[in-house]
Amino acid sequence: MPRPPTQLPQFSSVSDVAKRLSAAGYLTDKQIATTVFLADRLGKPLLVEGPAGTGKTELAKALAAATDSELIRLQCYEGLDEARALYEWNYKKQLLRIQASQAEGGADWDTVHDDIFGEEFLLSRPLLTAIRRTEPTVLLIDETDKADVEVEGLLLEVLSDFQVTIPELGTVVATRRPTVVLTSNATRELSEALKRRCLYLALDYPSAEREREIVLSRVPDLAPGLAEQLVRTIRALRALELKKSPSISETLDWAQTLLELGLDTLDEAAIGDTLGVVLKHASDQERAAAELRLN
């Protein structure tokens, strides 16, 4: 198996990962730091799976910031195809080029052919862009589970060899392997083959302690006591069986809201007024109000 182009490891140890990511504004725990370190060391793509709003995309962004790389993002959706993910010929421009050459009195076919399948007419999409870059790059393939199964095949090919063959141009090989982060909300099972090639990181809701730190680092003006109260309440909400459990981003929104409203304690009245920030289904709100005895 030919090893893809290598890249020097960017982190020296697990604690180095934790330090640099937290400098980039992302607080890790041992699991995240270890997995990111291994992904960097072994040169494997990192597959991050977990519920929405647990900081998957954020991790990729922080990783880019911590390693001084540029972030290239491929957002997946149903119907994403090769033309949107890899490359596409700019056929409009090609047509115009042919038109123009006819108007000029007609260059011979070979020239036109060589001409319209050149660099100028190639629309580079995220995957190809990431492979061709010579500077450090973090390639974020977001919400992989939303894409169709065929796209996984394409990803497999690109992620194992880091090369792309364009029939008219030849094979493009990465000179510098990008750091790849795939995220998934686990709405569907990704293929075994893809998972096998990746390091797997299951991101769940953080521990109370880490969540409190995250709140305090992101909303520094919040009183520590209130942050503590907030996190405890959020955890109580998560323990309920809700349609959509509040995520970290919602905790942060809530913290921000409390701060804006100038509330200094999280009592029944305050929660009742601001519950809409964390729970976004009417049925969830009713349930929480009943279970937590809000009224």
Partner 1 sequence: MGGPVAPPPPGGLAGHLDGFVRAIRETGIPVGISQAVDAAEILTVVDLLDREQLRHGLAAVLLQRGNQRQIYDTLFDLWWPLGDRPVAVPEDGEGEGEAVTLDAPDSAGGEIDPSARLREELARLLAEGDEAELARFARRAVAMLGQTTPSPSGQSWFSYRVMRALSPDSLVSSLLEGLLAGGERGGMAEQVARGEVRERLRSFKDAVDTEVRRRQADERGRDRIAKSAVRPLADQIDFLRAQQGDLAELRRMVAPLARRLAVRLSARRRHGREGRLDFRKTVRASLATGGVPVVTHHRPRKIHKPELVVLCDISGSVAGFSHFTLMLTQALREHFSGVRAFAFVDSTDEVTRFFTPGADVADAIRRIGREADVVAFEGHSDYGNALEVFADRWPTVVGPKTSLIVLGDGRTNYRPPGLPVLADLVQRSRSAHWLNPEPRRLWGSGDSAALRYAEAIDMVECRNAAQLADFVTTL
Q: Is 294 in the site for partner 1 (CB under 8 A)?
A: yes
Extract the tokens encoding 52: 């929405």
Extract the tokens encoding 211: 């969540």
Q: Is 292 in the site for partner 1 (CB under 8 A)?
A: yes
Quick one: which of 199, 215, 258, 278 contacts partner 1 (CB under 8 A)?
199
Site residues for partner 1, 56-115, by CB under 8 A, read 78-79, 92, 95-96, 99
Between strands 199-202 and 46-49, the pairing is parallel
User: Residue 120, exposed/middle/buried by CB under 10 A (0-12, 13-18, 19+)?
Assistant: exposed
**Span near partner 1 by CB under 8 A; candidates 124-132, 154-162, 201-209, 249-257:** 201-209
Taking the complex as a whole, the smallest distance from the CB of residue 166 to partner 1 amounts, in Å, to 22
**Span near partner 1 by CB under 8 A; candidates 63-71, 127-135, 171-179, 229-237:** 229-237
Between strands 70-75 and 199-202, the pairing is unpaired
Can you say how many angstroms the Cα of residue 121 is from the centroid of all Cα atoms in its chain?
29
Q: To 5 degrees, how large is the angle CA 179–CA 183–CA 187?
A: 160
Taking the complex as a whole, the smallest distance from the CB of residue 292 to partner 1 amounts, in Å, to 5
Taking the complex as a whole, the smallest distance from the CB of residue 92 to partner 1 amounts, in Å, to 5
Find out whether 238 and 245 touch, Cβ atoms under 8 Å. Answer: yes
User: Residue 63, exposed/middle/buried by CB under 10 A (0-12, 13-18, 19+)?
Assistant: buried
Q: Which residues bind partner 1 (CB under 8 A)?
A: 13-14, 30-31, 34-35, 38-39, 41-42, 49-50, 78-79, 92, 95-96, 99, 186-189, 192, 195-196, 199-202, 204, 207-208, 232-233, 235-236, 239, 241, 243, 267-268, 271, 281-283, 287, 291-294
